[in-house]
Amino acid sequence: AQSVTQPDIHITVSEGASLELRCNYSYGATPYLFWYVQSPGQGLQLLLKYFSGDTLVQGIKGFEAEFKRSQSSFNLRKPSVHWSDAAEYFCAVGGRNTDKLIFGTGTRLQVFP
Amino acid sequence: DTAVSQTPKYLVTQMGNDKSIKCEQNLGHDTMYWYKQDSKKFLKIMFSYNNKELIINETVPNRFSPKSPDKAHLNLHINSLELGDSAVYFCASSQGLAYNEQFFGPGTRLTVL
């Protein structure tokens, strides 16, 4: 079955600390992987995506993610978190011939000053 | 010059009523989507239209009927509203298949009393 698991429902970090949000997926074909961010009261915005090639992808707002096929993971990282990064983060998986993205349940990030 | 807009932003109604949510995108995309986000933030696709044709219809009650009058619009009509329909409904659009970046609207928070 196709699925995305985000094991951490809620993460709290201090401003300036590093961040890693975990994402594991199950997908029968070559996965296309995404991270979206949802600020309070807003729609989702794409942070970054991985289709092929270099397994370390850079996104907007200083985020990066690393695809590890052997671990079926696509973890999101940021070296130094800013208070404005507080939001809900969603990992999603899709495929080349599908019109559907499957989203994880999200990780809520709280940032303390 | 909002990319994907939805109206209304908030909708409060009684059980049994019929309501509509409208979505418009000015990005020139050919694919539009409706998602439902429940109280636990779980995001699930409901429908997808490509060039005004329905291409994804998840297991959604037939009380929900999408309508796409043209490529830039995708409306959602809900008949006989139930308590369980309370959620945030997001419209999104993309060019081509879902693995291209999806742009999300700000959401419509529906509350059924």
When pLDDT is averaged across residues B76-95 and rounded to a whole number, the result is 95
pLDDT at residue A88 greater than cutoff 80: yes
Tally helices (H) and strands (E) across chain B.
0, 11
pLDDT attached to residue A1: 76
pLDDT at residue A98 greater than cutoff 90: no
pLDDT attached to residue A8: 95
When pLDDT is averaged across residues A54-59 and rounded to a whole number, the result is 95
When pLDDT is averaged across residues B22-41 and rounded to a whole number, the result is 93
Q: Confidence band (pLDDT; 50, 70, 90) for A95? A: confident
When pLDDT is averaged across residues B64-86 and rounded to a whole number, the result is 95
pLDDT attached to residue A44: 92
CA-wise closest residue to A77 among A92, A57, A93, A94: A57
Chosen for mutation from B29, B36, B99 (greatest number of chain A CBs closer than 10 Å) is B99
Structure tokens at A79: 């070296």
When pLDDT is averaged across residues A74-101 and rounded to a whole number, the result is 92
How far is it, in rounded angstroms, from Cα A89 to Cα B112?
27
Going by the DSSP 8-state scheme, the letter that residue B95 receives in this structure is S
When pLDDT is averaged across residues A4-24 and rounded to a whole number, the result is 97
How far is it, in rounded angstroms, from Cα B76 to Cα B63?
10
When pLDDT is averaged across residues B74-78 and rounded to a whole number, the result is 96
Q: Confidence band (pLDDT; 50, 70, 90) for B57? A: confident
Q: Confidence band (pLDDT; 50, 70, 90) for B98? A: low
Closest-approach residue (CA) in chain A for B95: A99
When pLDDT is averaged across residues A46-65 and rounded to a whole number, the result is 94
Question: Look-up: residue for tokens 């990066």?
Answer: A64
Main-chain dihedrals φ then ψ at residue B34, nearest 5 degrees: -120, 130
| Cβ pairs A/B, distance under 8 A | 61
Contact B99 A95 (CB under 8 A): yes
Q: Min CA distance, B42 vs chain A (Å)?
A: 5
Mean pLDDT of all residues belonging to chain B: 92
Which residue of B50, B55, B98 is in closest CB contact with A101? B98
Which residue of A101, A103, A105 is in closest CB contact with B40? A105
Could you tell me where the beta strands, DSSP code E, fall in chain A?
3-5, 10-14, 19-21, 24-26, 32-38, 44-50, 56-58, 64-68, 73-78, 87-94, 102-103, 107-112
Q: Confidence band (pLDDT; 50, 70, 90) for B101? A: confident
- Which of A12-16, B56-60, B102-106 is least confident? B56-60
pLDDT attached to residue A2: 85
Spell out a b/e string for B92-112, using b for 16 or more CB atoms within 10 Å of the CB, else e. bbbeebbbbebbbbbbbbbeb
Q: Min CA distance, B15 vs chain A (Å)?
A: 25
pLDDT attached to residue A96: 77
Contact A44 B90 (CB under 8 A): yes
